[in-house]
Amino acid sequence: MAQKLRVLLCSLLAGLLVLSGCASIPRSSSVQQIEAGTEDGGGESYSYAAEGPADGADARAIVEGFVEAGRSVAEDYAVAREFMTAELKNSWRGDTQTLIYEAFNVVNGADANQYTIQLEITGEVDAQGVRTNYASHSTRAVDIKVAKVDDQWRIIDAPDGTMLEASTFTKIFAAQTLYFYDASYAYLVPDVRWFTSGSGTATSMVEALLKGPAPYLQNAVVSAFSSASQLVRSAVPVRDREATIDLNSDSFADTTDQTLLLMKQQLEASLTSLSSVDSVKMLREENDVNLASNESSIEPAEINPSTQDTLVGISDQDLVYVKGRSIIPVGGLPDVSAYDPRDPAMSPVGNSYAFLNGRRTQLLRIDDSGKLRLALSGKDLIQPSMDVAGWTWTADNGAKTPIMAIPADTETNGEARPIDVAWLEGANIDSLRISRDGARALIVATDGNSTAVYVAGIIRDAEGVPRGLTDSPMRLYPEVPVNTALWDSDSSIIVAALDDSEAVEAAQMTFEGGSEHLQLLLGMVGIATGVGERREVYAETNEKLYTRVGNSWHELDDFAQDVAYPG
């Protein structure tokens, strides 16, 4: 990951120099013609062949054939349109929604000449590539109407969108990452989408980027592009590994040099994940985009920023560092043994700490100067998480509004802020971790007998003060039981159901859909993972501390409890 980040930042810096006035983008306003036939990037397209309607096929066969034809994306789903009347095929759109199913069945509908497609679905993808996953054995019904036209059954009414069997979906669609900024523009936050593979991928990515972030990130991240930004034509040509993005004039209204550089950086971060793209070039309605000054520059935003390669833990009633296989006392801190410290956290930047007392009724903070103060009193607090802006997060399951955000300096900036989250009302918060970029919260919550894993954007005001979480979180469906979740990268997590008496199986999940199970460990009561290249995974029982070697757990000679990476 670090190597990829170095390559991307070098590419971005080179691109910024180009935009700042190098010869490849002259400061004149000469018109650049884009060849209409040039294809955009994305690699080889994959599309199953599908059969059109057979002569004399009965109505049910027409409906079943229409479902199967969804796997042929060629010529805008031309085969699927063959099952429709002339009127419907001209208005129906196949790219607005894709239902991903494990099995389907066609049954008679409520009315004459109506059929219902019963699907067991695992997810769906909308027109902007946003994927929504569903629990196992979820179902969806799609109603289709047919009629005879020239003695042949044809579909006269069907909702927009197609249906794809799950294994076929992964061959036709591929996950791509769009990037948006955190509120400080210091970090690029990933937004994983799904698009059909092939020559139209770059176009789909740019169009989706211009429309803004996925619902779970809305108002939590920002774009360098205004809501008025659009492609002049629905095409992003790629020639000699350079993608050309021709934008309308409204895209550049009131833009500064800094805005232009941020726009280019955002495009380049998103599109250089394609194997065919190394750089991007922006045009304004076929004209070069010029900066007002050759001296203009921005600080490159970080992608997947690493945490420190040191953990904090508890040993002999004191805070300690865990570095590799060594346990080292944290120097310069006051004696905290009277609090029976548990569940420590360390800031991702600076040297401040937070921990709970043994009864989990107090959260205490130690600032960069070593000063200890009580930050929050509660009834049932969970392990804190510290973000890059200096806020400490926890949840008090004894409070009406459990999630709390605490400023670094409560004397100056006030007391802890309760974060009201309507979709968590009545739930018990089992785990809460803030992403390294500070823009997202990873939450495990239990409501009754149901436990769910969510990722939600953090909404902050202009001063960076947390005001809430986004209304439409992304829900993840782990393959293992869960009561805790940790960030493993900016787009992957590790989940587990910690238990001091059972064999615990942790799993790594990626936002692209992959999953890897870790080896079972009897009595696992804690797990720690950090964002960054070669960050070891630690697990602990009540008496031993382990590191992950390959897919095995290796016992350490020394022991610390409640170990956690910064964040």
**Which has the closest alpha carbon to 300: 265, 271, 267?**
265
Q: Tokens at residue 460, please?
A: 């902050």
The residue among 225, 226, 221 whose CA lies nearest residue 181 is 221
Q: Are 95 and 127 in contact (CB under 8 A)?
A: yes
The domains of the chain are located at 2-22+39-43+198-303, 59-172, 311-564
With a CB cutoff of 8 Å and minimum separation 6, the contacts of 174 are 194, 195, 196, 197, 201
Mean pLDDT (10-residue bins), the chain, 567 residues: 41 42 29 38 65 96 96 93 97 96 94 95 97 95 96 97 95 96 96 92 97 98 97 96 97 96 98 95 96 93 94 96 89 95 95 97 95 95 96 96 91 82 97 97 96 97 93 96 97 98 97 94 97 90 95 93 96
The two three-digit tokens of residue 263, written as one number: 């726009």
Quote the pLDDT of residue 49. 82
Report pLDDT for 43. Answer: 53
Task: Tell me which CATH code domain 311-564 carries.
Answer: 2.120.10.30
Show the tokens assigned to 342: 């548990």
Residue 145's contacts (CB-CB under 8 Å, 6 or more residues apart) are: 109, 111, 113, 114, 115, 155, 156, 157, 158
In the sheet that holds 238-239, the strands lie side by side as 238-239, 242-247, 279-284, 287-288
How many Å from the N-terminal Cα to the C-terminal Cα in the chain? 19
Q: Are 127 and 471 spatial neighbours (Cβ–Cβ below 8 Å)? A: no
pLDDT, tens digit (0-9, with 9 covering 90-100), for 434-460: 999 999 999 999 999 999 999 999 999
Q: Which amino acid is at 462?
A: A
- Residues 342-390 have pLDDT tens digits of 999 999 998 999 999 999 999 999 999 999 999 999 999 999 999 999 9
DSSP 3-state of 34: coil
Please list the residues that pair with 539 across neighbouring strands.
527, 546
Identify the CA nearest to 114 among candidates 69, 151, 78, 157.
157
Instruction: Kindly list the distances between the CA atom of residue 513 and the CA atoms of 174, 176, 273, 376, 491, in Å, as whole numbers in the listed order.
Output: 11, 12, 17, 38, 10
Residues making up the chain, counted from first to last = 567
Given the DSSP bridges, would you call strands 97-108 and 162-165 parallel, antiparallel or unpaired?
parallel
* Domain range 59-172, CATH class: alpha beta
| Res 26: pLDDT | 27
Q: Give the SS3 label for residue 262.
A: helix
State the pTM of this model: 0.90
Q: Hey, is 526 helix, strand or coil? A: strand
Residue 340 gets the label, from left (phi > 0), alpha (psi -120 to 50) or beta, of left
Name the H helices within 245-330.
257-271
